[in-house]
Structure 1
Amino acid sequence: MNIQRAKEISALPEMVHVTHNGVPVYIQRVDEDTKTARVYPLYQPDREQTVPLNSLTEH
């Protein structure tokens, strides 16, 4: 996923279907410098992680 689209998704009030390794995730914030995003699985908000943007897929 590109940086601009990830930032757009993280700012939207409605959910957008995004996955990381096949798992639906919520994008909390995007770091343009490192090209990463802070995400968590939709049903496990306590499992936050930082992942490369190129590992995220919009469906």
Structure 2
Amino acid sequence: MDRKRATELANSLVMADVTYEGRPIYIEKVNSGRETASIHFLNQPHYSQEVSLTQLVENQ
């Protein structure tokens, strides 16, 4: 996923269908300088991790 789209989704009020390693996630924030995002799995809202933007997939 590119940085612009990830930022749009992170700032959106609508929950997008985004996955990381095939599991649904929520993008908390985009770290543009490192091309990463802070995310959490939908079933683990208290466990945040930083992942590469290239590993995020938006499902249409």
> Normalization by structure 1: what TM-score?
0.97
Residue of structure 2 equivalent to 1:51 = 51
Unaligned stretches of 5+ in structure 2?
A: none
Correspondence 1:34 to 2:34: yes
Unaligned stretches of 5+ in structure 1?
A: none
> Normalization by structure 2: what TM-score?
0.96
C-alpha deviation, 1:24, in angstroms: 0.2
Equivalent pairs: percent with the same residue? 37
Spell out structure 1 runs of 4+ moving beyond 4 A: none
Q: How many residues align?
A: 59
> How many Å separate the matches in 2 of 1:2 and 1:36?
10
C-alpha deviation, 1:27, in angstroms: 0.1
**Which deviations, in whole Å up to 9, do the C-alpha atoms of 1:5-59 show, x marking residues without a partner?**
0000000001000000001000000011000000000111122100000000000
